[in-house]
Amino acid sequence: MKKYQFPVLIEQDEDGIYVGMVPDLKGCHTQARTLSELEKRLREAIRLCLVIEKETVSQNRFIGVHQLEVAV
């Protein structure tokens, strides 16, 4: 069984729900009320996306995430 590592973006919406997205897998995202539940759901979503992709998934090296504030 091949192992993959993916960077995951996690945000919290205005209702306190955590939203997780996997940028390397198109359409791969989920949500949950707790971070532990979100991690379980993300693992499941990633597995499903990998089954659907069926082609080689690129494994980019994670560098970091920054939050920028911009005044307009």
**Inside any domain, residue 3:** no
**Inside any domain, residue 24:** yes
pLDDT, tens digit, 9 for 90 and up, residues 16-56: 999 999 988 889 999 999 999 999 999 999 999 998 876 66
Across the strands, what pairs with 10?
A: 20
More confident residue, 53 or 60: 60
**Inside any domain, residue 1:** no
**Inside any domain, residue 34:** yes
**Inside any domain, residue 19:** yes
Residue 28, both tokens: 């791969």
**Residue 49: CATH number of its domain:** 3.30.160.250
- Separation between Cα atoms, residue 58 and residue 50, nearest integer Å: 11
More confident residue, 62 or 11: 11
Residues of the domain holding 35: 9-53
CB-CB contact of 13 with 19 (8 Å): yes
- Separation between Cα atoms, residue 32 and residue 42, nearest integer Å: 10
**Inside any domain, residue 58:** no
pLDDT, tens digit, 9 for 90 and up, residues 4-17: 889 999 999 999 99
Q: What is the pLDDT of residue 56?
A: 66
- Domains identified in the chain, total number: 1
pTM: 0.80
